[in-house]
Amino acid sequence: MTAPDVGEQTPGEQTIAILYQALEPPVIGGARKEAKPGGYSDSGADIGVALLAAGCTLATPVADPDPARVFDWVWPDTEAGIAAALDAGATLLWANTVVFAGHPVEDASRKAWIVGPDPKAMQAIDDKAATNARLLAAGLPVARSWLIDGDGDLDAQLAPFADRVPIVVKPLRGRGSQGVGVARTRAQLAAQVRDLAQSRRFGASIMLEQFLPGQEITITVMPAACRPGETAPFALPPVRRFDQFDDVAPYNGDVPVSRNSAALTLGECADPAIAAAIAACEQAAALLEIRATMRIDCRADGGGTYFLFDVNAKPNLTGSGRPGREDEDSLSTMAAAACGWSYPDFLLAAARGAWRNTQDQQG
């Protein structure tokens, strides 16, 4: 496919419409990514209020959107919703949603600028096992992982892992920490895998992952176009995760990340192990040819070496600013604050990386 047209866009020259998740993600290869309740409409409203305060022009479903009403600010990511946003004058669509091959954003990218991941690329990245294998093949430090078919003979598939506990059990296309657990015994491994397989909540595909006992950090990486002068994807300061439940970070819908996370200081970032993790995440982003802000979770082994274990092509971008949202900063906005960006600064930088496809491009 021909390379897309890419920023550096001046957000003030665009009319921005923010999309939320109204489409249920499809089951892909036996794996299901559960839709988020509210479809990221909360962070969509956060983004809209912040962009409006920064002087941007918005196309919104109502003429005078109320910061307390999230759906005043966002359009559904359906074909009809996107058409309505374009009819309302939008020239830039902020795809604050989970996209996939065939998503309406693909067609819309030939009519407007897009802030968000490429749909086909996100579908590929969301296959955690395949993405890890791709990065590992490129020589990057990645946690080892293995696939389990929930429809197959579980006893036979799990037998080779009996002596690998503790081991992480997770959905292949999960969202956040939902469905993730650490099995510390053979019995726990069998029970956790069977529970996931029988629930069908995340489909039939289950991933086992090397357990890393050290500190967990998460690193936000942005496309080069988001900051003038950059020629490659660049990382924001890592954020340390703490107060985990049984070695798993709690879902941010249950515990705000501002209560269990903190950006690393400049001195901490200079630590060779942290610096190596940052460099690895930047290399991973370049290899994946990211078009939008992404986040990569990393964890240290017993010797202090960090390994990448989860690539998130659609990180949460909540931010404080609306009434009652003072405690709702996301991991990426916390990272942005650590390098001196306010929430609007971070969003404006992200918008400069907008991309679009020309009419003659094929999939």
CATH architecture, range 144-210: 2-Layer Sandwich (3.30)
CA 229-344-57 angle, to 5 degrees, is: 95
C-alpha 145/C-alpha 82 separation (Å) is 38
C-alpha 97/C-alpha 175 separation (Å) is 12
- Whether this model's pTM surpasses 0.85: yes
| Residue 196 burial class via C-beta count within 10 angstroms: exposed 0-12, middle 13-18, buried 19 and up | buried
Q: Are 110 and 358 in contact (CB under 8 A)?
A: yes
CB atoms within 10 A of CB 230: 14
The DSSP call for residue 84 is H
46, pLDDT greater than 80: yes
Mean pLDDT of 276-294: 98
What is 216-352's CATH number? 3.30.470.20
Mean pLDDT of 126-155: 95
Domain map (residue ranges) of the chain: 5-116, 144-210, 216-352
Tens digit of each residue's pLDDT (9 = 90 or more) over 201-251? 888 899 999 999 999 999 999 999 999 999 999 999 999 998 777 777 765
3-state secondary structure of 307: strand
CA 174-179-183 angle, to 5 degrees, is: 125
30, pLDDT greater than 90: no
Amino acid occupying residue 299: R
Q: Are 20 and 76 in contact (CB under 8 A)?
A: yes
The CATH fold assigned to 5-116 is Rossmann fold (3.40.50)
Higher pLDDT, 179 or 86: 86
Q: Are 292 and 350 in contact (CB under 8 A)?
A: yes
